[in-house]
Structure 1
């Protein structure tokens, strides 16, 4: 890693910075021909998506990755998944809205956030960390999570959006 990534606890005041990160990630994905994952419209231009991000931030604990004081990545840990995934039969922490600013892809931001999520899960006395992701685009994102220590569990779909749940014991 060539840059120092600092991870801090976030809050509702960080939602605009989080939305800017998501917007940048959409541009990055679209530039690579990946439009089915998060669509083509910026998160900040979708009122229902903005409301969903605000709700998840209040339900959980947002974390902001910064380089030189500038937000470059985010995730929120909640004690449960979104409504489209069954809850685990034991206490868990769930990674929601993980994203890296498109200009910082390949700098280890996502990996640093996921390592932090594992540490926070362990600190909370919970041994199960789960995440779900887009399973399309030849499963590239699923393989990314596997490289971060997660194992595939169940697949799901929301409409025509293919998803994959993964878990990691910490």
Structure 2
């Protein structure tokens, strides 16, 4: 697996991964996280991910020439979580292509994000995720070394979230 720099030109691949992940979640009966409407069919969502890819740092995991996952980091957190009290790298998006689920793609991308943060002299990596249903996503980030630090709600109080942090 190689980790290569990406950017706004990769938004179509990112949207495909998000749509596939959304289909998988829905097939599991887990629609609370992302609903059932494909992100790629919602212009505001495409704009949001294009903005993330334009303003953040995009890294792609590539396996045998195929994009296996993406991580986008930023030096600022979104408005819906408390701001950091020190410099940080914030994971704005982490998604693995379903064809590569279980191959360590997310762990590799998070390790790369940690390396990039340290190289920039940053000692804090934060991420937020969905905290509803079975809490599997929170457990995943805990397994990756993150510690839950706060809960929040987004989307007019309908989306339960968890903020996690990792000291580097």
TM-score range, shorter chain: over 0.9
* Structure-to-structure mapping, 1:89-108, within 5 angstroms: 89-108=85-104
| Residue 161 of structure 1: aligned partner | 159
Deviation at 1:34, TM superposition (A): 0.9
Per the alignment, residue 136 of structure 2 pairs with 140
Poorly superposed stretches of 4+, deviation over 6 Å: none
For normalisation by structure 1, the TM-score amounts to 0.95
Structure 1 residue 138 displacement after superposition: 2.1
RMSD: 0.9
1:73 match: 69
**How many residue pairs were aligned?**
166
- Corresponding position: 1:20 with 2:16: yes
Structure 1 residue 15 displacement after superposition:
0.8
- For the Cα contact (< 8 Å) 1:27–1:102, is it kept in 2? no
- Kept in 2: contact 1:10–1:63 (CA 8 A): yes
The C-alpha deviation readout for 1:97-127, integer Å capped at 9, x for no partner, is 1111122211111111111111111111100
Report the TM-score, using the length of structure 2 for normalisation. Answer: 0.96
Structure 2: runs of 5 or more not aligned? none
